[in-house]
């Protein structure tokens, strides 16, 4: 529909276009918009102080023009440094595909000191909840600040599974970390 509409409208838009263009060009130029009072006063003050300023701007300065003609700029590209083009990092040699871990996340090979992986966080939470380890002992054991572990214990916890009595045998054993922790906590409670 757009092509049909444009083909219909084109002759109407271009009708007598040359005469209309000449009419617009031959009109008197529009007046400039009025200046602000502050601008007009500053311009009047400048013209009173320097009456020949308009002439000096409109006059061509031959001395400056000749100086400009003598200026030549030449530039060359810097030579390529072969040491810069070679990367200091080598390409990875391990081309194995991604292997999922227990928590469906990628486990890094190196963890900086003071940081924990998701697997380690679950272990720390389990040790704190099930075995009653204090944050000081866990901080010394895992190399993490005590304040970080206090915040971890305050805001995070593990899920608890409540299985109705008599249905524990029908509950399927899995590698689910929540189930493993549940069994560990149940064992801990039964021992008490």
pLDDT digit string (tens) for 134-190?
899 999 999 999 999 999 998 988 777 777 777 666 665 555 666 666 666 655 455
* Rounded alpha-carbon distances, angstroms, from residue 131 to 76, 107, 108, 128, 176: 72, 26, 28, 6, 20
Give the rounded distance of the alpha carbon of 90 from its chain centre: 27
Q: pTM for this structure? A: 0.37
Of 98, 104, 109, 116, nearest to 177 by C-alpha is 104
153 within 8 A of 133, measured Cβ to Cβ: no
Q: Of all residues in the chain, what percent are helix, strand and coil, respectively (each to 5)?
A: 55, 0, 45
Question: For the chain, which residues make up each domain, given as ranges?
Answer: 118-191
pLDDT digit string (tens) for 97-145?
766 666 666 777 888 988 988 888 888 998 888 888 889 999 999 999 9
């Amino acid at each position: 529909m757009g092509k049909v509409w444009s083909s219909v409208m084109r002759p109407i838009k271009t009708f007598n276009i040359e005469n209309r263009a000449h009419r617009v060009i031959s009109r008197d130029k529009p007046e400039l918009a009025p200046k602000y009072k502050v601008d007009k006063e500053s311009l009047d003050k400048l013209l009173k102080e320097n009456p020949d300023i308009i002439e000096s701007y409109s006059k061509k300065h031959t001395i400056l023009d000749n100086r400009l003609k003598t200026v030549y700029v030449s530039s060359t590209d810097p030579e390529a440094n072969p040491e810069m083009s070679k990367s200091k990092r080598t390409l990875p040699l391990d081309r194995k595909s991604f292997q999922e871990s227990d928590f469906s996340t990628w486990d890094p090979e190196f963890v900086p000191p003071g940081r924990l992986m998701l697997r380690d966080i679950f272990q720390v939470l389990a040790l704190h909840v099930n075995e009653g380890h204090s944050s000081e002992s866990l901080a010394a054991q895992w190399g993490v600040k005590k304040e970080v572990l206090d915040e971890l214990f305050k805001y995070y916890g593990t899920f608890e599974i409540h299985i109705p009595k008599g249905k524990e045998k029908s509950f399927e054993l899995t590698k689910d970390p929540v189930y493993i922790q549940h069994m560990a906590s149940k064992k801990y409670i039964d021992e008490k």
